[in-house]
Amino acid sequence: MKFSKINKKIISDSVDYSVNKIHEIINTIGPRESGSKEAFEAQELLRKDLEKYADETHYEEYKMAPKAFLHFTKTVSAGVIGATALGGIFKYVKPEKLGALAKFAKKPVVPHALVAAATCGGLFITAMEFLLYKEFCDVFYKKVTGRNLIATRKATEETKKRIIINGHIDSAYEWRHIYYGNGKLMAPLMGMTIGSSAISAVTSVLACVLASKNAKGAPARFLTDKGYLFHFFTLLNMITLFLFVDFDTVVPGANDNLTGTLAAASALKMLDDAGIKFKNTDVVCMITDGEEAGLRGAKQYAKDHYKEFVESGVDTAVLCVDTLTDIEYLNVYNRDMTGTVKHDQDFCQLVMDSAKEAGHHDLKFANVFFGSSDAAAFTQAGIPATCLAAMDPSPAEYYHNRRDTGEKLNPKAIEAGYNIILSSILNFAGEDTEEK
């Protein structure tokens, strides 16, 4: 079946259902920290509906540390602040006033070594956690149980294809840069923090080398003496990094990402309402937890199902949906995880072509240049995936803060996303269609 034959009322009804369900979750359950009972309650609420449209539903549990992913902003910044301040004391306070610490102050290399260790270590941890999304710090944090909800509309005959529509149920800790700056402070503050840290790392390492060799000359003296003053600018930027994440405030997450969660659920609802079953294609709704904790749910699911998805001979692809709000930024993301992950081009193209078939000709291929979506976890595991999203990448003024409420919902953007999702499912299945 082609998308043009679908009764458009089926889509509009699903949009109404989704908007109402999002308001219900926000009003009765509220914010949903990764791995929380609230996240599970929201999944349970949706599972009851999914049982009407799916042949089978189940949960898959795993362990995760919700705060490990972003808590490096506290530890890294505290380390750099402490190292810079201590190094400054060693460098600028007279040794006779330092008592037992005087022997360290006499060594010119020590202040620079402290800053070098803190900034280089901090940049490494930041890269491991936020650039590469490795579970680098998780071992130091308390683990909780996360759950992925899986609902499958099975093929009527042998399964030869499988398309998974994914959205994450958990909502983020508040990012103060965006809340207090309406999205305008995020880029300059983070740019200064990362930039100054990199400069401090390079100059402190050079200063260590020069100081250890007792190098002479104006450039060496400037770097080992006056150059240290720049590290105090880095220290000030680290104070803003320390305050960046408010772990005491979990945001409502109406748009990011209940819109994506309901898109996954509505994919099955729309097929059921249209009376469509596929002979050889399973359609799966996957509602992950832990995306805001570093893609933990998607990573675990991809790991657990690698053989099934990659080695079984069943053609599998994952369409992640993450925020359907700012329709002018509705795009297919072919690069992810701050540009370090390239999604499967064939599947990206299928979604793009499906968007055009559904009447949406303005979409572009885009890059998640700061952060990541669940799609990256699947691509990294070797499972074809892409992300469909509609959010101002500036970022949006509601992103990861308390303004992400039901009042920000945009039914037109949700409808456009549903058009593309349904068109993509039909095209992925091809002629493999049975109508009831």
pLDDT digits (tens, 9 = 90+) for 321-340: 999 999 999 999 999 999 99
How far is CA 1 from each of CA 6, 145, 233, 428, rounded to the nearest angstrom? 8, 41, 61, 11
pLDDT digits 0-9 by tens, 153-197? 999 999 999 999 999 999 999 999 999 999 899 999 999 999 999
CATH code of the domain in which 306 resides? 3.40.630.10
- Given a cut of 70, whether residue 434 has pLDDT beyond it is no
Looking at residue 431, its pLDDT comes to 67
How far is CA 375 from each of CA 42, 70, 104, 321, 387, rounded to the nearest angstrom? 22, 19, 50, 9, 6
- Given a cut of 70, whether residue 436 has pLDDT beyond it is no
Which domain, by its residues, includes 231? 72-136+179-246
Same domain, 382 and 420: yes
Report the range of poorest mean pLDDT among 17-21, 103-107, 225-229: 103-107
Rounded Cα distance, 52 and 55, in Å: 8
Same domain, 194 and 321: no
Looking at residue 80, its pLDDT comes to 98
Same domain, 54 and 102: no
pLDDT digits 0-9 by tens, 240-292? 999 999 999 999 999 999 999 999 999 999 999 999 999 999 999 999 999 99
Same domain, 321 and 192: no
Same domain, 302 and 369: yes
Query: Of the candidates 246, 271, 305, which is a domain's last residue?
Result: 246
Same domain, 7 and 107: no
Same domain, 10 and 107: no
pLDDT digits 0-9 by tens, 359-398? 999 999 999 988 999 999 999 999 999 999 999 999 999 9
Query: Of the candidates 246, 262, 284, which is a domain's last residue?
Result: 246
Give the chain's domain count. Answer: 2
Rounded Cα distance, 81 and 237, in Å: 9
Average pLDDT, the chain: 95
Number of Cβ within a 10 Å radius of residue 78: 16
Same domain, 342 and 401: yes
Same domain, 230 and 149: no
